[in-house]
Amino acid sequence: MADEQLPAGWEKRLSRSTGQHYYLNIYTKESQWDVPDKPTKPVSSSGPEQVQCSHLLVKHKDSRRPSSWREENIIRY
């Protein structure tokens, strides 16, 4: 089977869980199973890049080790 020509901004990927192909919008990182029929454009951003945090450690003043390995004193706001 010949490789299909995808519209600009899309990549064809292989799902590790299903073994089926899916299509990834390289700008929004959204995916879909159906072959895209229209090109996509970069999304303009007025703010900072999106950041995901799955764990955040906050030390309190009565912690057994209130100092940080990066900074001797931790300033709480």
Q: 42-66: buried (b, 16+ CB within 10 Å) or exposed (e) per residue?
A: eeeeeeeeeeeeeeeeeeeeeeeee
pTM of the full structure: 0.54
pLDDT per residue over 8-66, tens digit each? 999 999 999 999 999 999 999 999 999 999 999 887 766 666 777 777 677 666 777 65
Residue type, 1: M
Asked whether residue 69 carries a pLDDT value surpassing 60, the answer given is: no
Are 13 and 21 in contact by the 8 Å Cβ rule? The answer is: yes
Task: Please give the pLDDT value at position 48.
Answer: 65
**Structure-model confidence comparison of residues 51 and 68, the more confident one:** 51
pLDDT of residue 4: 77
